Amino acid sequence: MRVLLGLVRRDAGAVRLLGCDLHSTAGPLPDGVAGCVETPAFYPYLSGRRNLSLLARLDGDNQIAASDAVGSLLEQVGLAAEADVAVGGYSAGMRQRLGLAAALLRSPRLLFLDEPTSALDPAGAREVRTIARRLADEGAAVVLSSHDMAEVEQLCSVLTVLNHGRVVFSGSIEELRTLAPAAVHALLRTSDDRAALDLASQRAGVKAQLVPATDDGGLEVSADIEALDAYVIALGREGVAVRALECRPRSLESLFLDLTRHDRAVDTSVVALPTLQDDSRASAVVS
């Protein structure tokens, strides 16, 4: 992402964004391209509003129009009340929100976001996801880098998994699931989850783990259909009542670990969220 945003000089190859070549030496990004990587940096002695106004002016925006845009964006990212507070007093989550507002100043058609919700509380994370989803619905391409598989699964239509800088999968989540073994994944609730877990460990072809008590308990079970049938029958014979059995699709985290199980030291997962109207802009994201 640093290479794509012109922050790091590439060693080889070429970068083309929205039909424009990105020079290997420092230079402006093409219009419509924006983003932020890790923790955004700002002048700590300036307020959030003045930081954004300065960035808008450096980008060549009209001062009056920029002032209106800054106020609107601070409202969107939930910083209206702190707009005139020096950024040095901002929390990590507030700086993350300000970084998103700075990226949105460019009215991006291609937006790069690196772990945008990592420092946010649940309400703030939801707001950021809503903004990303709205931009995608309006025709922008949002490229999200994240280790949060639940967030990726909730937001993204197309994903690329990187393992030590190499692509090990690129496509939709549905396509990834078709590559997975045809095992049944189920949530099982019983009268004695501990006993059910012990019994699962004794049966070939059945994998189970306890669900945290905060999620109402139970077990997550993976097995082919014949092994699952035999396991449920065995539970009854051992006096463990099955109170609920809910089959569900495999989580993205489980699929991700399968892809990278030969080497668990995974660098990152990069996800593109294009809701695009033409193939040329989609290929710009892939590039």
> Domain 15-173+267-286: which CATH class?
alpha beta
pLDDT of residue 79: 92
What secondary structure letter does DSSP report for 85? S
- Position 231 scores a pLDDT of 92
Q: Where are the domains of the chain?
A: 15-173+267-286, 181-249
CB 191 within 8 A of CB 241: yes
Domain 181-249 has what CATH class?
alpha beta
User: What is the pLDDT at residue 286?
Assistant: 26
| DSSP string for residues in 236-254 | HHTT--EEEEEE-PPPHHH
Q: What pLDDT score does 63 carry?
A: 58
pLDDT at 86: 95
pLDDT, residue 85, reads 95
The stretches in the chain having pLDDT less than 50 are: 262-287
pTM: 0.64
Provide the pLDDT for residue 132.
85
Cα four-point dihedral sign 42, 46, 49, 50: negative
Residue-level pLDDT at 35: 86
Burial label for 102, CB within 10 Å (0-12, 13-18, 19+), is buried
